[in-house]
Structure 1
């Protein structure tokens, strides 16, 4: 799975361009631990990230570590009220035939409460 984890994070970090070609399998899904919802990665995950960046322009992922099928990082940004957003998170990345078929995101909702309130 050499490098695909980093490519996934790079794609999620840069939503200013079109969804990346040759990275996600048709029908790829993203699942979240906090709501146990499974949604199409394209376009839903990218649309959500664009909406987040409209509210939190400096939203990004730092302290990134990747390995065989996983990525660990910290979500950071500044909320409109000036408070800091910080939430350690992890992805389990499932790949078949060189394409990502499923992403599972694990993050503590308590640390994202301010962000969720903006998106409600």
Structure 2
């Protein structure tokens, strides 16, 4: 991921990767939804907390090969790969996508993450999920 990516989706992925919501990116009350559990939770602080918990178990967890698109029709898309090394030394990787919904004020109001949980079974195991 380049730090110069100015698309909304690219900025969201960078914020998640840095585990830092930054200033002026998320609207108050922004939510994150996951395809694998269909749970909607506050982006700040819940999503950042989840990434911190993953990093505690998998220190090299990260977002790789990020390709982000500018906002079209209120949504900015990012495709990427989440990857890391599990505590037992096994590497994992899972292609994923984010739909980042952007309000008229330019702030992110909703994130929807789409990922195949079958590719994350080892990660979920390491997290005790």
Q: Which category of TM-score, normalised to the shorter sequence, fits these structures? A: over 0.9
How many Å separate the matches in 2 of 1:34 and 1:87? Answer: 13
Q: Which of 12, 15, 18 in structure 1 is aligned with 2:16?
A: 12
Unaligned runs of 5+ in 2: 1-5, 71-75
The 3-state SS of whatever aligns with 2:87 is coil
How many Å separate the matches in 1 of 2:125 and 2:63? Answer: 20
Give the TM-score taking structure 1 as reference length.
0.94
User: Which residue in the other structure is 2:60 paired with?
Assistant: 58
User: Which residue in the other structure is 2:26 paired with?
Assistant: 24
Give the TM-score taking structure 2 as reference length.
0.87
How many Å separate the matches in 2 of 1:119 and 1:86? Answer: 16
| RMSD over aligned Cα atoms | 1.0
What is the deviation of 1:6?
1.4
User: Which residue in the other structure is 2:38 paired with?
Assistant: 36
What is the deviation of 1:19?
2.8
User: Which residue in the other structure is 1:98 paired with?
Assistant: 106
The count of residues paired between Structure 1 and Structure 2 equals 117
Contact map agreement 2:9 2:99 (CA 8 A) in 1 = no
